[in-house]
Amino acid sequence: MEQTNSIYSKMIYYGRILFAVIGLSVTGLVAANAAQQVNNTVGKTNTKTTAKQSDARMAWWQDARFGMFIHWGIYAVPAHAEWYMTNGHVPRGKYEEYAKQFDPTKFNADQWVKIAKEAGMKYLVITSKHHDGFCMFNTKATSYNVVKATPWHKDPLLALSRACHRYGVRFCVYYSIMDWHSPDQLAANPDAENPTYNPTSFVPGKKEAYIAYMKAELKELIDQYHPALIWFDGEWMNGWTDQDGRNLYGYLRSLDPKLIINNRIKGAGDYETPEQQIPPNGLPGHDWETCMTINGSWGYNAEDHNWKSADTLLHNLIDIASKGGNYLLNVGPDATGVIPQPEVQRLKEMGAWLKINGQAIYGTMASPFTEQLPWGRCTRETTTEGTTLNLLVFDWPKDGKLFVPKLKNPIADAYLLTVSGEHKQLKTVNSNDGVIIFVPPVAPDKIASVIVLKIKGALQVE
């Protein structure tokens, strides 16, 4: 089933970028003059976030760099991914039938979290309610939920939140503002036999009712599962405004001062969310996260075998980290509760690489080099003595010399990260316009090898 959402999501994405550029540039101007306080005026709840509070809240997320996205819902039953209700023009009553067929007896929360943990993923974001409106958690707000409406009668978010706690992975939830099942939202084309839902609009006079429903569910998600982050989506529905987003942001902030909220709440948000692509220069001065599928589908699609290689996925992670971003990589479990093996295999390979080289990714900042390095990427850490540069080399030099342009500092220490864990010391010399590192003939890793440079004092790149 061709997903028209890919075209639509591109339209949404570029709309978001436009908003982000306008919004952020205005915010940037305001922030430059403001006393470092951002007032989220929120209806009755007036919350203030200072830069210091924001930094403290974002610290674990900035260090994490790599997370698992999980798109799982009753759309796994027809197995044409998560937009099937609209792409397949499925009437609400007929789509509800899939809930009665959803019985994922092979679901194992510990297994899923272990896959994430062993892949080197530090947080996990699962769809609590996607656009189809089906709630994958126990809620009193509607009986259209996984505990009440399926023969399975279990709460996967409870199991996953507990497993994440056991394995030290941050538990987070995705929540769609647009809701194709809600009686308070109208389908784009409500044709009884052949409906199209996206984008919905509010039923006249029902917007406040829907906001109250959403707030009740979001409070349940916070109270029952204590997510570290809420990943909003579906903000492009008609009638949802920037102010609605700011009001909702302030409400959530009042429930949990530490909760991280993405920019798709609209009008507010703690970080930007480019989708299926890596911004060429990152998003300087902003926290950001690229979300991406391993094949071409978010939700399970039995016909989509277009898997990216582990090399590509790792190079994406390295590229993103070198630009100061996070990588939220998606899996789409099937209706039995199993993550497809091609996804599991790639994540295992990424975890094996990170086990040896993770120090070049986790807790790092963007490269100090403004131009793309010809042989790979670089990440940076500030230490008490000075700076550590991690050189992530994709193309290993054939002449035994790796040239780092524009780096003027003398190198206090230089070594290779190796499979054995020993640091293989390397010789370096400064030339007029950079540093030459003498490297062994064979790269330690076929995907990316890491050279660590320790630099004393202030970094000099010019």
Under the binding rule (CB under 6 A), the answer on residue 125 touching ligand FHN is no
Each residue 421-450 as x (binds ligand FHN by CB under 6 A) or -, in order, gives ------------------------------
Specify the pairing of strand 423-425 against strand 413-417: antiparallel
Tokens found for residue 89 = 């023009």
Is the preceding omega at residue 374 within 30 degrees of 0, hence cis? no
* Closest distance of CB 427 from ligand FHN, Å: 46
The whole-angstrom distance between residue 311's C-alpha and the CA centroid of its chain comes to 19
DSSP one-letter string for 277-337: S--BTB-TTS-BEEEEESSS-SS-BTT---PPPHHHHHHHHHHHHHTT-EEEEEE---TTS
Q: Which of residues 77-106 bind ligand FHN (CB under 6 A)?
A: 82-83
Helix (H, G, I), strand (E, B) or coil at 362: coil
The amino acid sitting at 73 is G
Q: Which is nearer to ligand FHN, 113 or 291 (CB)?
A: 291
Q: Which residues pair with 262 in a beta bridge?
A: 271
- Only one of the segments 4-12, 331-339, 372-380, 450-458 lies at the binding site for ligand FHN (rule: CB under 6 A); that segment is 4-12
* Closest distance of CB 217 from ligand FHN, Å: 17
Q: Which is nearer to ligand FHN, 150 or 301 (CB)?
A: 301
* Closest distance of CB 247 from ligand FHN, Å: 22
* Closest distance of CB 82 from ligand FHN, Å: 5
Q: Which is nearer to ligand FHN, 233 or 343 (CB)?
A: 233
Q: Which of residues 11-30 bind ligand FHN (CB under 6 A)?
A: 12
373 secondary structure, DSSP code: P
- Only one of the segments 5-13, 111-119, 317-325, 341-349 lies at the binding site for ligand FHN (rule: CB under 6 A); that segment is 5-13
Q: How many CB atoms lie within 10 A of CB 307?
A: 17
Residue from 177, 258, 179, 178 nearest 218 by CA = 177
Each residue 243-282 as x (binds ligand FHN by CB under 6 A) or -, in order, gives --------------------------------x-------
Specify the pairing of strand 260-261 against strand 229-233: parallel
The span from the CA of 238 to the CA of 357, in Å, is 45
3-state DSSP percent of the chain in helix, strand and coil, to 5 = 30, 25, 45
Residue from 396, 397, 394, 404 nearest 368 by CA = 404
As a dihedral over the C-alpha atoms of residue 187, residue 212, residue 328, residue 112, rounded to 10 degrees, the angle is -100
* Closest distance of CB 159 from ligand FHN, Å: 22
Q: Which is nearer to ligand FHN, 98 or 298 (CB)?
A: 298
Each residue 44-83 as x (binds ligand FHN by CB under 6 A) or -, in order, gives --------------------------------------xx
Q: Which is nearer to ligand FHN, 123 or 298 (CB)?
A: 298
Q: How many CB atoms lie within 10 A of CB 401?
A: 11
* Closest distance of CB 157 from ligand FHN, Å: 17
The whole-angstrom distance between residue 383's C-alpha and the CA centroid of its chain comes to 27
Tokens 């919004």 correspond to 23
Q: Helix 341-357 to helix 109-118 angle, to the nearest 10 degrees?
A: 40
* Closest distance of CB 13 from ligand FHN, Å: 6
The amino acid sitting at 115 is I
* Closest distance of CB 114 from ligand FHN, Å: 24
Residue from 60, 119, 121, 52 nearest 363 by CA = 60
Each residue 280-309 as x (binds ligand FHN by CB under 6 A) or -, in order, gives -----------x------x-----------
Tokens 């994709």 correspond to 394
Q: Which of 5, 262, 297, 301 binds ligand FHN (CB under 6 A)?
A: 5
Residue nearest to ligand FHN (CB): 9
Q: Which is nearer to ligand FHN, 6 or 418 (CB)?
A: 6
Q: How many CB atoms lie within 10 A of CB 172?
A: 27
Sequence-ordered list of residues with C-beta below 8 angstroms from that of 442, at least 6 positions apart, any chain: 396
* Closest distance of CB 198 from ligand FHN, Å: 8
* Closest distance of CB 276 from ligand FHN, Å: 8
Under the binding rule (CB under 6 A), the answer on residue 233 touching ligand FHN is yes
* Closest distance of CB 87 from ligand FHN, Å: 10
* Closest distance of CB 163 from ligand FHN, Å: 22
The span from the CA of 146 to the CA of 5, in Å, is 25
User: How many residues belong to the site for ligand FHN (CB under 6 A)?
Assistant: 9
Q: Which is nearer to ligand FHN, 144 or 175 (CB)?
A: 175
Under the binding rule (CB under 6 A), the answer on residue 213 touching ligand FHN is no
Residues that bind ligand FHN (CB under 6 A): 5, 9, 12, 82-83, 233, 275, 291, 298
